[in-house]
Amino acid sequence: MMLMFGANVATATAPESDLKKIFEGRYAAMKVAMEARDSKALAAFFAQDFQSIDVNGTVESLDQMLQEVMAMPVDPARISGTTVLSAERHGDVATVVQRYHMTTTKPSLDGSGDKPVELTAISTDTWIKSDGVWLGKDTQTEEMEYKKDGKVLAHQQRKPRP
């Protein structure tokens, strides 16, 4: 009994680096499900009432987000990854700040060949622990930048809440 209690205390007070590793693993596994276009496997990473909120405040449900991901064209030139910048746990709730970075190429409008494209987004994600598994509860994009051929075409930041 004492050993089990000690393990629970260690889990509840795990260093941020250990928590970051847990979520880096979750994001990497989500990427595999996304690339496989496996909506069932992808949905298993999220709470049923998951919400995605973009920099403009537009809210998408889990079903809407899954439809959007499944509709994305396959892009063999796409390279993407998620970096966990910070992770804090309060009981069965964790707040993760993460950076998503994606590069690919797209044809130029003038026919001069493919141009590099880059998308970077910083988001704050809330995760809940349910039956021992971390599930995404919501994600709020704080900042987004889109570049083509090295030129910033779009840069948006979430407006501070009043």
pLDDT of residue 111: 85
Q: How confident is the model at residue 3 (pLDDT cuts 50, 70, 90)?
A: very low
Q: Minimal CA–CA distance to 69: which of 31, 26, 102, 101?
A: 31
Whether residue 127 contacts residue 93, with contact meaning beta carbons closer than 8 Å, is answered with yes
> For residue 152, what pLDDT band results from cuts at 50, 70 and 90?
very high
Bridge partners of 145?
Answer: 120, 155
Task: Say which residues have a Cβ less than 8 Å from residue 20's Cβ, sequence separation at least 6.
Answer: 84, 86, 87
pLDDT-derived band of residue 15, with 50, 70 and 90 as boundaries?
low
Indicate if the pLDDT at residue 1 is higher than 50. Answer: no
CB atoms inside a 10 Å sphere around CB 42:
21
Whole-prediction pTM value? 0.85
Average pLDDT over residues 27-44: 96
CA distance 74 to 22: 28
Residue 158 has pLDDT above 70, yes or no: yes
The distance from CA 12 to its chain's CA centroid, rounded to whole angstroms, is 23
pLDDT (tens digit, 9 = 90+) per residue, 117-139?
A: 999 999 999 999 999 999 999 99
Average pLDDT of the residues of the chain: 89
